[in-house]
Structure formats: C-alpha cells, structure tokens
Structure 1
C-alpha cells in the first residue's frame, strides 16, 4: 500500500512539474492577455511594445495600468479594436513589426540596434511633427535607398552622405528622437511603405533645388513631397 501511494505521489509531482513548465514557457499569443495577467508572455509583450517606443513601465511580467495604456495606444495607431487586451490580432501585428522572436543582441528584421537608433534619429530630425504616416514614409525612403544601386548600401552611409538630409547639417539629427519615430522605423522595416517606393522627399516651401524639383513626384504627405 505504501509503495503504491509513493508511486502515485511521484506521478502527480511529475505531472505538476510538466504542467508548470508548459505554462512557464508558453509563447506569446497562446492566450489573450489583459489587466492582471502575469508571466513570461507578458514580459515578451512588454519587450515588443518597448521596442516600438511604447511606455509599459518595468518589464516585470505584470500586465498593469501602463502596459494596458501602451496596448491601447498601439491598437489605436494600427487600426485595431481598442480594448486594451492583447488578443490574436494585436499580437499578430506586434509580431509583424518586431519579428517572430525577440532577443537582446539585435533585431529579427535585418538591422543592428545601432542602425535602428540612427534611423529613428533621422526620422525624428526630418519629420518631427509630421503625420505618423509621413514618418513611416521617411524611414521607407532610407530603406528604398539601401535597395537602390544609386545609393550606398548601409543606413549610416546613407544618412551621412554629404548634403543628403538637412537634419544632419542643422543638428536636428542629434536631438533625442520621438517615440513615434521608433514606431515608424519598425513599421517601415516590416514592409509598410506609404511613399510607394520613393527615394527622395522634400519640403516644397523650403527648397528651390532644381534637381529635387526635377524628380518624378509620387505624392505629398504632410509637408513633404515624396519622389523617385
């Protein structure tokens, strides 16, 4: 009788360990997260939101007020139902923008963290105060230049190419970037391109440069005209 009782106790303990392990390592998206949720999925959620510039508070695995507010703002800016809950659609969009997995050594979207930081500085310096869609378009222009044979093939070489961007010359590049500029960069890296393939942009009220005016204009977003 004692042997059977001990055997069943061991089996129950093993089952509990397996259950705890399964819960502890569940992936982001396995369940809907909301106020009061806790665990590693919430940490992952907080990391992804933070990568995009949303303020979640400490990445402690506790879905509190600040995380809820960050989720709501993310949903509002991406056309999702604003309910403050990280469900299927919200998680899918977060993963689209930040990659399938998160890591501390770099990003899953092909650029180093230093490249993303520099690109966010450029977007902020060139498009501070512009519509969010226009900020994404500015980031997309840089990525389009990387893909073009007519330009250097790295973020830093493009940003610091002489005369390429006014924010480098007037020092705006070196100001602290806005949180929306980081979000715009990740959106562009995920494939969003409101500029429709543009490799130039300019403010028509601030330039008389003949070359830039000679380019084929695509559209205007805010104060910027985007062109090929």
Structure 2
C-alpha cells in the first residue's frame, strides 16, 4: 500500500466511517484538493497532520482515531479519491455541524453542498 493510500484511507475512516460511500470519497476529495493547492502541504500525510496555531486541522489527529485500521469501504474511497474522483469539486473544507460550529469556515468560505453529516465549502 502506498503512503498516500495508507494515510488517506485512515483519515477517511476516522472522519467519515459512518458516512455513505459518496461521503467517504468526498472527504478524500477535500484532502486531495488540499494536496494540490498552494495553500496547504503538498502530501497527503502533510495535509492530515497540519497544525494551524497549535491546533490540528483534523480532529482525528487530536483524538488519535487517525491510527485506527480503515475498513474496506474507506480504502476503496481513498483509491477513488486518489484517482481523481471529485464529488465535491474544488472544496477544501468540510465539517460536521453536529460536532463543530465551523464558525471560521462558515464566515470565510463558500458553502457548496451537504453529504450525510458533513457540509463542504470552497
């Protein structure tokens, strides 16, 4: 398994394990959009473990769930995202409103769509 697939499947599983397959691919889509943007680190692992003002950008890093073994759907979704699937287009942010207010994202980014429990912004 490649390093990108290893980490992407883990963040998808940790962030979207209970979501639909499309929701899993969407999370992977956001990570890949960040990798391909000049505003974020240029590797999957770099994006996942990025800190801003001392705070990890993804809660599974803080919670330790990033290290859980991903299920088969999360691995398949990671492969699909790595191959270029873009169910949320150019979005670079997402959050679950039931778990986070996402105040900065809501005030500074453009809402695109909701898939399951996640809302996506660009």
Partner of 2:117: 223
- RMSD of aligned C-alpha atoms? 1.1
Partner of 2:76: 183
Q: Are residues 1:143 and 2:32 paired?
A: yes
Q: Are residues 1:124 and 2:13 paired?
A: yes
Cα distance between partner residues in 1 of 2:110 and 2:97: 14
- Measured against aligned partners, the alpha-carbon deviations of 1:138-157 in whole angstroms (never above 9, x if no partner) come to 01111100111111111111
Cα distance between partner residues in 2 of 1:153 and 1:207: 26
The 5 Å alignment of 1:65-84 reads: none
Any unmatched runs of 5+ in structure 1?
A: 1-105, 107-112
Are the counterparts in 1 of residues 5 and 82 from structure 2 also a CA contact under 8 Å? Answer: no
Larger Rg: 1
Cα distance between partner residues in 2 of 1:165 and 1:216: 19
- Cα displacement (A) at 1:208: 2.0
Any unmatched runs of 5+ in structure 2?
A: none
Count of residues in Structure 1 that have an aligned counterpart in Structure 2? 117
Greater relative contact order: 1 or 2 (C-alpha under 8 angstroms, separation 6 or more)?
2
- Cα displacement (A) at 1:209: 3.5
Which is strand-richer, 1 or 2?
A: 2
SS in 2 for 1:153: coil
TM-score (norm 1): 0.50
TM-score (norm 2): 0.91
Partner of 2:92: 199
Partner of 1:153: 42
- Cα displacement (A) at 1:172: 1.1
Partner of 2:22: 133
Cα distance between partner residues in 1 of 2:21 and 2:10: 15
